[in-house]
């Protein structure tokens, strides 16, 4: 859902859309998300700054909330 190699922070809508795409192939009970973007491997890059990491976590949380609304669960 999140691409740590892309300096652009995903929007909540992008996260939602990616999760909903995955739901087409997996049941909801087989799908999960977490905040391990492996930023430590890229610690020298500008887009792995703390602010970027927190922005991505926030986008994931908002995106998952939108998935929950979309699926009605």
Q: Give percent of the chain above pLDDT 70.
A: 78
Q: Any idea which residue has 């995903």 for tokens?
A: 10
- Residue-wise pLDDT tens digits, 2-50: 777 777 889 999 999 999 999 999 988 888 887 766 655 555 555 557 7
- Residue-wise pLDDT tens digits, 39-64: 555 555 555 577 877 888 899 999 99
pLDDT at 20: 93
Rounded Cα gap, residues 51 and 20, in angstroms = 26
| Predicted TM-score (pTM) of this structure | 0.76
3-class DSSP state for residue 30? Answer: helix
């Amino acid at each position: 859902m999140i691409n740590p190699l892309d300096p652009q922070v995903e929007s909540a809508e992008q996260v939602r859309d990616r999760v909903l795409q995955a739901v087409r192939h997996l049941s909801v009970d087989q799908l999960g998300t977490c905040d391990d973007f492996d930023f430590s491997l890229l610690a020298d890059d500008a887009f792995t700054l703390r602010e970027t990491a927190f922005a991505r976590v926030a986008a994931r949380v908002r995106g998952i909330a939108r998935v929950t609304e979309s699926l009605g669960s």
